Amino acid sequence: MKGSSNNLLTIGDTVIKPGSRVKLQLPVANLYTDTEVSIPVEVIRSKKPGPTVFISAAIHGDELNGIEIIRRLMTMKSFRLTSGTLIAVPIVNVYGMLNQSRYMPDRRDLNRCFPGSPKGSLAGRLAHLFLQEIVSKCDYGIDLHTGAIHRSNFPQVRANLKDPETEAMARIFGVPVLLNSSLRDGSLREAASEHGVKVLLYEAGQALRFDELSIRAGLKGILNVLGHLGVIRKRISKTKAVEPFVANYSSWIRASSSGIVRDVKMLGDHVKQGEILAEICSPTGLFVEKLRAPRAGVIIGKQNIPLVQEGDAMYHIANFEAPDEVADHIEQLQENMVPDADRGESDN
């Protein structure tokens, strides 16, 4: 285990000793205005040996929920490490966030540029830097994402569930939907696996928006995993744990025609085969096309903008053996998160 001994940890030019908490800036490359751009990093180290865990957000610069999740985690008054090291990186793609864009300035998707190269494109250089300075020094990681622009994802964890240790982490996270997701070429998860780092990918909400349910579920999930790994003390939950369900298959349902959308089904709904998901209408009302579910499942992602072109992805449906039970547990997750909103969170 990389964090099993109390050795010094070096990130960039900063040396972090056991028992310390350090904020640092990891330089990337200057803008063409000669303004220096750096990745913000915060490291907490316990004096007691243990695993090293990274939590990252905004690999896609317009995915903001994860930034807020990490902010709340790092400002919790009761948050204490009992062992090991936590490395928090709230904004990986600083360039994209500045431009409110998913992409890097060179129009590349950073999450398709790993492991990168110190002499490659700007995206490749940033991927290489993040992998070498942060990810490769860890044992585990949690990477936070949202849906793309105009799309929402219901809280879900994607991971290599064929690995028993990774599956245990995914289940303890505490969201009802787990997707057994293969490693994609150029992704952070693929590069991390080459370094022996086990990573969960948390998807929830939509780009350029804060979603309170997604933020609360993500924060609780991180605390659950850190407790499971022994990095913090396990928290005693006052609410019933959400039982996760594994989907080995999911697919996007695409628009069969162009027009204006009237949603019938919403995020988190259980749909039966043949059930109407939406109606696609012409602006003048000359026709109405009914979009139907080709199979039973649970809606884990959907397009939000009420305009579609033929072939646009509209609903992301995950397939389970018992989709009605998944839908019940999705409602349970919503009930677990909503009461806190009335009480407020003094710990954040």
Average pLDDT over residues 251-265: 96
Do 204 and 226 reside in the same domain of the chain?
Answer: yes
pLDDT digits (tens, 9 = 90+) for 201-232: 999 999 999 999 999 999 999 999 999 999 99
Question: Looking at 236, 264, 290, which one is the last position of a domain?
Answer: 236
Both tokens of residue 209? Answer: 């928006």
Q: Establish if 101 belongs to a structural domain.
A: yes
- pLDDT greater at residue 324 or residue 31: 31
Do 28 and 103 reside in the same domain of the chain?
Answer: yes
Q: Which of 174, 139, 140 is nearest to 157 (CA)?
A: 174
264 exposure class (CB count in 10 Å sphere: 0-12, 13-18, 19+): middle
Q: Which of 130, 122, 131 is nearest to 103 (CA)?
A: 122
| CB count in 10 Å sphere of residue 250 | 20
State which amino acid sits at residue 70. I
Do 125 and 65 reside in the same domain of the chain?
Answer: yes
Query: Domains in the chain: how many in total?
Result: 2
Percent over 90 (pLDDT), the chain: 81
pLDDT digits (tens, 9 = 90+) for 3-30: 544 588 999 999 999 999 999 999 999 8
Q: Is the pLDDT of residue 339 over 80?
A: no
How do 85-89 and 38-45 pair as beta strands? antiparallel
Model pLDDT, residue 338? 64
Q: Is the pLDDT of residue 315 over 70?
A: yes
State which amino acid sits at residue 277. L
- pLDDT greater at residue 107 or residue 347: 107
Query: 46: domain range?
Result: 9-236
Q: For residues 81 and 46, is the Cβ–Cβ distance under 8 A?
A: yes
Do 217 and 271 reside in the same domain of the chain?
Answer: no
Q: For residues 129 and 188, is the Cβ–Cβ distance under 8 A?
A: no
| pTM of the full structure | 0.93
How do 21-27 and 259-263 pair as beta strands? unpaired
Q: For residues 303 and 179, is the Cβ–Cβ distance under 8 A?
A: no
User: For position 129, which CATH number holds?
Assistant: 3.40.630.10
CA 132 to chain centre: 21
- Residue 131 CB contacts under 8 Å (≥ 6 apart), including other chains: 114, 115, 116, 188, 191, 192, 195
Do 16 and 67 reside in the same domain of the chain?
Answer: yes
